[in-house]
Chain A
Amino acid sequence: MSSYRVIFEDPDQPEAPAMVLVPSDNWLEEAKAGLLPPISVYWVLQDDEQQAIAEGRHDTFKHDQEKHAAQWTAPRIGPLTEEEAIEYLVMKDIPRHIWSQEYNRPMFKIVKTEDVPSDRSFRNAWRIAA
């Protein structure tokens, strides 16, 4: 199990509780084995899909075949440490506006797994501590 979790908030949803990103062990093994493509491969796909959503054609949207295949055909970036893999995962699975822009407070934090509360009694009130 990964030693890390990523806590993040979406500035577009100020009333929503903080979210917790839990890495998959299977994916982490792939990252450590050097099987991942450059992160830009995923960004290109995300951009194309976001554009389709904005233009109201998401229902019939299909990724460009060559861009989609780049997930397998692009040169691999080589083995990552767990810490590097988590940073990669932030840029892959957390919406870009959360981590690519500066806000007046941190919108995400990488924390140790044991630092995430196990008591979920007030889960919907979780926020990132200042």
Chain B
Amino acid sequence: MSKITLSPNSSGTGTFTLASPNSNTNRTLTLPDSAGELLTTTGDGSGLTGISSGAGTVVTWAAFNGASISITNSGNVSSITDAGVGKFYVNYSTAATNATHSSTMSAVTSGFGMQANCSPLANIPTTTTRVSVGTGNSINAGFADMSDTNVICVS
């Protein structure tokens, strides 16, 4: 039989009370079989994972300058790899659960206007840890660096 221990904190002076709601129904609250802290309505849930609205979750997003190779801002990005003119990899801080992402990318730079193009690199599979980004000129299909490159992946 497993045991339940109530462990007071020797440093604190407050009294913590376990209170029942106003109810006539018997209830059982089963604690999760893992270590950690329970959250309340006022707790910080930033460490929670696997929460989905049903419409998927954002795996990563990044805004970077492909001409100067600097990251403007990002979410869940540990680094960006510059693999040559117009070729990049966005590396995730934390791996996704699977690699079936939907990626949306855009790029623009001075002088290219609407002929700028951006998409994942051909024959480079997206993995749970990175997505490839290719930027270039849609007129001649050549790779080119773009000053404003944006990527968002959802899963």
Contacts and interface: CB of A to CB of B under 8 A. Distances in A.
Specify whether A and B are partners. yes
A19 B47 contact: no
B47 A22 contact: no
Nearest to B75: A26
Considering residues B47, B83, B130, which has the most beta carbons from chain A within 10 angstroms of its beta carbon?
Answer: B83
B98 A61 contact: yes
Given A62-B97, A63-B97, 11 more contacts: A16-B84, A24-B93, A26-B93, A49-B128, A58-B99, A59-B100, A61-B98, A61-B99, A71-B94, A72-B47, A93-B81
Given A49-B129, A61-B98, A27 B78 contact: yes
Interface in A20-49: 20-27, 30, 42, 45-46, 49
B interface secondary structure, majority: loop
Q: How large is the interface on B (under 10, 10 to 19, 20 to 34, 35 or more residues)?
A: 35 or more
Interface string A52-81: 010000110111000011011100000000
A interface secondary structure, majority: helix
Contacts of B94: 71-72
Interface residues of A, number: 36
B25 interface: no
B110 to A, nearest CB: 15
Contacts of A112: none
